[in-house]
Structure 1
Amino acid sequence: MIATLGSLLLVLLLAMGMPVAFAMAVAGVAGLFAVGGLDLVMGMVKSSTISSVNSYELITIPMFILMAEFIIISRIADELFDATVVWVGRVPGGLGVAVVLAGAMFGAISGSSTASAATLSSTAIPAMMRQGYSLRTAGALVAITGTLAILIPPSIALVLYAIIADVSVGKLLIAGMVPGILAVLALVGLTVTMSLLRPKAVPAGRPYRWSEKVSVLRVTLPMLILFGAVTGVLYAGVATPTEASAMGAFAALLLGLVQRRLSLRNAGRALVNAARVSCMIAFIILGAHIFGYFFTLTQTTTAIANWVGALDVSSYVILLVILVIYLILGCFLDQIAILILTVPVMLPVVVALGFDPIWFGVMVVMVAEVGMITPPLGLNVFVVARYTGQPVHEIFAGILPFFLCMLGMVLLLGLMPEIVLWLPNQMSN
């Protein structure tokens, strides 16, 4: 009963608009007070402030955020879309294909779906509208492309899941590579098909000279090298995720300095932005630690796992229900909040059913991302609508084929988990 009341209090605080970190902390403290009084609360709060962030691998998160900040502030990311258009201009629906590829590259350095959608909204949508794309198609394409950011490594959400689930950060990041590439290829294939079937809504691209293609390599090549270096050292086992993230941040700093786009003032701003986001995540982890201890003390997680294990239904039916819950949560909450709120409860159930925790991590991230384009409250769609000044319903009207495409990817990875697990299983230990 106390656990139920604590959960209801958490939902009420979130519905009232309280930040996730404080909502979890307040609900957790209230629950602990009901269980053991003030002494239990004070003892838990004193120990949580250190134990919740006392993890070496947590350094990975601010380093990856700093890498993204250096790239964004030095304005290198702004040129990715224009450079990609030049290379894929000849392809049917070339501008749309460029949006997908540029979004994937930007996602590889930002790790944020909403940031990726916002950046592409200001650059890609006006270009597509000028070429004759319908508003609903252009907006939907940007919204779905933004979801690639949190799956393609380096992904902050995957790092956080790995820490919560106590699995290898490096293996989980590498596990996101093949699904990320397949998602990009699926969206590219869908865009090309739509261009062939509906050329008025998705106009054909135009060719560019080889001299133009070579000239834009100065923008794309350094980014590809940076991405390849970070993931390459992880896969080869040359560096730990923490070391790889630090190398990536340092390489991004050097890249901005070499291209003379990163001043001392801009570098300071990047550090402040990275610190601000990192502190936000640390507060969320602290709040989750308090609330999670309350759940553990009341044996709620164990009770849920035992109850689910006793159900006389297929384990895949239970997994489907869990994934639908993540799809619904993705419509309302940020992925980081979803992971911290649900993984401590859901993961023991999933492991008890016999599923791999690394595979489940990739599935959770993918399904939560699909939720970000799902009516009625797909966050990415609202981001695109806000940055373009267009009605939300217009963008939702064009989202269906892309939504079905991503659901197909989730189904494929659910039926063939070896697609996710093959690459991390080949890693050097």
Structure 2
Amino acid sequence: MSNLEIGFWSFPVLLGMIFLRAPIGLAMFLCGIGGLWLATGSDSMFLAKLKSESYSTFSSYSLSIIPMFLLMGQFATLSGMSQALFRAAESFLGHRRGGVAMAAVGACAGFGAICGSSLATAATMSRVALPEMRRYGYSGGFSTATLAAGGTLGILIPPSVILVIYAILTEQNIAKLFLAAFIPGLLAALGYMITISLYVRRHPDAAGTRPPVPMAERMRALADVWPVLLVFGLVVGGIYLGWFTPTEGAAVGAAGTGLLALASGNLTWALFKQSVISTAIATAMIFFIILGAALYNSFLALSQVPQELSAWVVGQGFSPWLVLTLILAFYLVFGCLMDSLSMILLTIPIFFPVVTQLDFGLSAEGFAIWFGILVLIVVEVGLITPPVGMNLFIINAMDRDTPMLATYRAVMWFVGSDIARVVLLVLFPSITLFLL
């Protein structure tokens, strides 16, 4: 069997391991070292590759940004920023029909600007917003669907851990990717709010109302969100203005949110240790997935699968837009089954060489940034797509009284909004690239 055939056979083996509930990092690790052993036929060769990939992966300075952003999210939760964001948004929007749900989406967008994780954003904002939504008569399915969709903003609005990984894989500028994600992130939040407005018009009994808040109280609530603006402006603004690198910016953000959590009185020594340990556990999990993907992609490169696939697609004369549509559809389907990090690490080394051979009328850098934002969005849509969207299960685990079927029915409205946004960004790349 040729190396190319071994490479193609590795895909069904990998998917089979994933469907058998093997951790995705372990599945890629085993397929990688097994494939290298079969392709080289030498124990020393694949062991040498294991040593070199492990060292190059874990010694990468660029990857040190990941634990810093994760720690920043931990401290942001403790500092009370999520509560302040929701109170401010609710004071301005809560009296409208569906306004508390809109406030939850707005708070998710704000918290995503200092968190960088969809699952963490969804879980954190659910603890804050779910009781309020229930208090004002919002139906269970509508409430859980809103928070599941809002949670996806955590990974799109910069800073984003997944965008950092994409930038490293495709050798792109992290700051430019963060900047390109800004307008699509705002469009996502606006689209969700429009969806909420349409939903409550169609289902008026799904959302109650609350009395308006006096303007003085609104101003006080708005003033309480200054820590979020400070951290976001310092980290993202500092990166854009060249004050520090993205890695240094992540460290500044972690230190800043830590000081704010300490000043709020919520950061005790026990919670500090818990935050550091939780960050270490999450970092170890992410790094093992990255190592597994590095070994598997090293094997694929040796087997020439990406190169042969790219040559075959170009040789068939397919329309670039058809190829792009099929790739996005693939991400949309498999995003239901795998987490976004695993999807990016597994597929970008395969798909990116293919799409870069096609002509979309953009510069190489512009295309790479535009494609990265599109991939990020469709992978995140998978987190809320029934029947196995991960965000849906996390939110429903926090609201056991709501049947999963009710969440499924309501969340499809938000999936429709996401698909419309993807179509818009595909048709008009300039929306994504406008700020560059």
The reply to whether TM is greater than 0.5 is yes
Match of 1:153 among 150, 158, 173: 158
CA contact (8 A) 2:37 2:45 kept: yes
What is the match of residue 207 of structure 1? 212
Which residues of 2 match residues 7-406 of structure 1 at below 5 A?
Answer: 7-36=11-40, 37-196=42-201, 198-355=203-360, 356-389=367-400, 390-406=402-418
The letter of the residue matching 1:207 is P
Q: Residue type of the partner of 2:110? A: M
Range that drifts further, 105-114 or 198-207: 198-207
Moved more, 217-226 or 160-169: 217-226
The code of the aligned residue for 2:333 comes to I
SS of 2:58 mapped into structure 1: coil
User: Aligned AA for 1:399?
Assistant: V
Deviation of residue 219 (structure 1)? 3.3
Write the distance in 2 (CA, Å) between the matches of 1:327 and 1:273.
30
1:410 and 1:288 map into 2 onto residues whose CA distance is: 27
- Cα deviation, residue 371, structure 1: 1.1
- Per-residue CA deviation, residues 383-429 of structure 1 (Å, 9 max, x unaligned), is 22221112211100112221111111111111111111121x2xxxx
Q: Is the 8 A contact 1:73 1:270 kept in 2?
A: no
Q: Give the C-alpha shift of residue 233 in structure 1.
A: 1.5
Report deviation, 1:291: 0.6
Partner AA of 1:175 in structure 2: A
> Helix, strand or coil for the counterpart of 1:352?
coil
| CA positional deviation for 1:22 | 1.4
What is the CA RMSD across the aligned residues, in angstroms? 1.7
- The residue type equivalent to 1:364 in the other structure is V
Q: Deviations over 1:53-92 (max 9, x none)?
A: 3322211111111111111133432443233212322333
Any conservation in 1 of the 2:104–2:147 contact (CA below 8 Å)?
yes
Tell me how far 1:380 sits from its aligned partner: 1.3
Which segments of 5 or more consecutive residues in structure 1 lack a partner in the other structure? none
Q: Distance in 1 between matches of 2:68 and 2:345?
A: 20
For 1:92 and 1:392, the matched residues in 2 are separated by: 24
In the alignment, the residues of structure 2 paired with residue 315 and residue 83 of structure 1 have an alpha-carbon distance, to the nearest angstrom, of: 45
Q: TM-score scaled by structure 1?
A: 0.94
TM-score (norm 2): 0.93
Q: Which amino acid aligns with 1:8?
A: P
Q: 1:313-334 deviations in whole A, cap 9, x for unaligned?
A: 2110110000000001110111
Give the % identical residues.
37
Q: Secondary structure of the equivalent of 1:158?
A: helix
1:358-384: CA deviations, max 9, x gaps?
111110010011111112211111222
Q: 1:5: Cα distance to partner?
A: 2.4
Q: Read off the aligned partner of 1:384 and give its amino acid letter.
A: I
CA distance, structure 2, for counterparts of residue 73 and residue 26 of structure 1: 38
Instruction: Give yes or no for contact 1:74–1:266 (8 Å, CA) kept in 2.
Output: no
Cα drift, residue 218 of structure 1: 4.9
- Deviation of 1:224 after TM superposition, in Å, equals 1.9
Aligned length: 424
Q: Unaligned stretches of 5+ in structure 2?
A: 361-366
CA contact (8 A) 2:148 2:392 kept: yes
Please identify, of 265-274 and 17-26, the stretch whose mean Cα deviation from structure 2 is larger: 265-274
Cα distance between partner residues in 2 of 1:354 and 1:162: 21
Whole-Å Cα distance in 1 between the matches of residues 253 and 125 of structure 2? 23
State the 1:280 CA deviation: 1.4
Task: Give yes or no for contact 2:108–2:125 (8 Å, CA) kept in 1.
Answer: yes
Deviates more, 1:146-155 or 1:48-57: 48-57
Q: Which residue identity is paired with 2:324?
A: L
Name the amino acid aligned to 1:383: I
What's the CA shift for 1:143? 1.2
Matching residue of 1:5: 9
The amino acid that maps onto 2:31 is: A
> In 2, Cα distance between the equivalents of 1:111 and 1:75?
17
